[in-house]
Amino acid sequence: MKIINLLKQDTLSLSFEVFPPKTETSFESVKAATGEIASLHPAFMSVTYGAGGGTSRYTLDIAKDIKEKYNVPSLAHLTCVSSTRETVHEKIAAIREAGIENVMALRGDIPAGREGEDRSRWDYRYAIDLVRELRECGADFCIGGACYPEIHPESADQREDIRRLREKVEAGCDFLTTQMFFDNNLLYNFLYKIREAGITVPVIPGIMPITNANQIERAIKLSGSFMPQRFKSLVDKFGHDPAAMKQAGIAYATDQIIDLYANNITNVHVYSMNKPEVAEKIMANLSDILGK
Ligand code: FAD
């Protein structure tokens, strides 16, 4: 099932993100956690590619498992910047062969130590290069792209970031998923600006439930997200108490989702980080709204 066809309903639906294992030994436990999340019947599940500490080796195995074993549509992430054209073509062929219809086309972060290189020699410089190849490869993929309500950290300003985003969408993205954010007003403002700029594809907001104090620093470092005072107070109050922090973080994410839906956003992607209990609690908190 193509994700673009799942985004047309007018009731709330949630999707979840998982990341592949770091090592072969944790493959089975990640597969089990993924299975538990899939058993909640989300709209779809995405599997990252080499992000969140996971390796890229197992992305496809997990995406295939989600689709075939649990009958949940899956979205396989693929990055390009640190790969050769040959490797990317092999990966695209493997995705196709596995029957995965949805691909999240990403640039990936510039590998440490390569920031100063002459990028004109690289096979891939931006996600748009991958979007074009996916469009031209002959498979009828549903293609997602990443977007950044608080601008991508490498962008000079938001106008330039949105201009580049529009080019990426025009190259063939069917939908966009946002970087995490903790203040919904940032998303509403971003949506207004991209619509004004002529970007009309569906945008799925990404919500990260922060469930422990250590996760916060890492999340902010990765995303550069703004921490509203309301969230800071919550961390100050509960950060030292793991169980309370988890409960408060899930409640905060739930609140964000309710506000998004109240503002007519019907699809929300939850960065569930291989934690079935987090996905389950969020769905339970929203059970009447979700009608489940
Ligand atoms: P791009 O769209 O290429 O943008 C990167 C930067 O380049 C932006 O500043 C943009 O404005 C600029 N730019 C774009 N095109 C041009 C151009 N033609 N000329 C000049 N500047 C340009 N990382 C992983 O490693 N694995 C994952 O699975 C993963 N999943 C993600 C999922 C989501 C929803 C998000 C938001 C991010 C994810 N990331 C993942 C992180 C992502 O790889 C990084 O944020 C990366 O730095 C940028 O990727 P991109 O696809 O947004 O790049």
Residue ranges per structural domain of the chain: 3-290
What does the alpha-carbon distance between residue 290 and residue 115 come to, in Å, rounded to a whole number? 44
**If you measure from the C-alpha of residue 152 to the centroid of ligand 1, how many angstroms do you get, rounded to a whole number?**
7
pLDDT at 224: 85
Which stretch of 41-55, 224-238, 268-282 has the lowest confidence by average pLDDT? 41-55
Give me the mean pLDDT over the 83-96 stretch.
95
What fold, for 3-290? TIM Barrel (3.20.20)
Q: Which of 106, 155, 180, when mutated, tests ligand 1's pocket best, judged by the most ligand atoms within 8 Å of its CB?
A: 106
pLDDT at position 50: 81
pLDDT of residue 139: 95
Average pLDDT over residues 92-120: 93
Residue 217: predicted pLDDT: 79
Report CA torsion sign: 76, 79, 80, 83.
Answer: negative
- Active-site residue (options: 17, 101, 133, 150): 17
pLDDT at 148: 98
Task: Answer whether 0.95 is exceeded by the pTM.
Answer: yes
| Cα–Cα distance, 143 to 173 (Å, whole number) | 5
Please choose, from the candidates 79, 50, 47, the residue with its C-alpha nearest in 3D space to the C-alpha of residue 65: 47
Question: Distance (Å, rounded) from C-alpha 284 to C-alpha 56?
Answer: 31
Atom of ligand 1 nearest to the CA of 206: 34
CA distance 282 to 12: 13
Q: What percent of the chain has pLDDT over 70?
A: 98
How far is Cα 83 from Cα 32, in angstroms, rounded to an integer? 29
Averaged pLDDT of the chain: 94
How far, in Å, CA of 110 to CA of 123, rounded?
13
The pLDDT tens digits of the residues spanning 143-165 come to: 999 999 999 999 999 999 999 99
pLDDT of residue 39: 98
In the residue annotation, 68 being an active-site residue is answered as no
Question: Which of 18, 107, 220 most suits a substitution to test ligand 1, by most atoms within 8 Å of the C-beta?
Answer: 107
pLDDT-wise least confident of 51-60, 111-120, 137-146: 51-60
Tell me the sheet residues that pair with 176: 145, 203
Q: For the chain, give the percent of residues with pLDDT over 90.
A: 84
**Ligand 1 center from residue 107 Cα (angstroms):** 5
Burial class (CB in 10 A: 0-12, 13-18, 19+), 139: middle
pLDDT (tens digit per residue) in 1-56 = 999 999 999 999 999 999 998 888 899 999 999 999 999 999 999 999 986 555 67
d(CA 20, CA 274): 9
The whole-number average pLDDT for the span 77-101 is 95
For residue 57, name the pLDDT band (cuts at 50, 70, 90): confident
Beta strands per DSSP E along the chain? 13-18, 45-47, 74-79, 102-106, 142-147, 175-180, 203-207, 267-270
Q: DSSP class of residue 177?
A: E
The tokens describing 229, both together, are 């005072």
pLDDT tens readout for residues 179-193: 999 999 999 999 999
Separation of 127 CA from ligand 1 center, angstroms?
Answer: 6
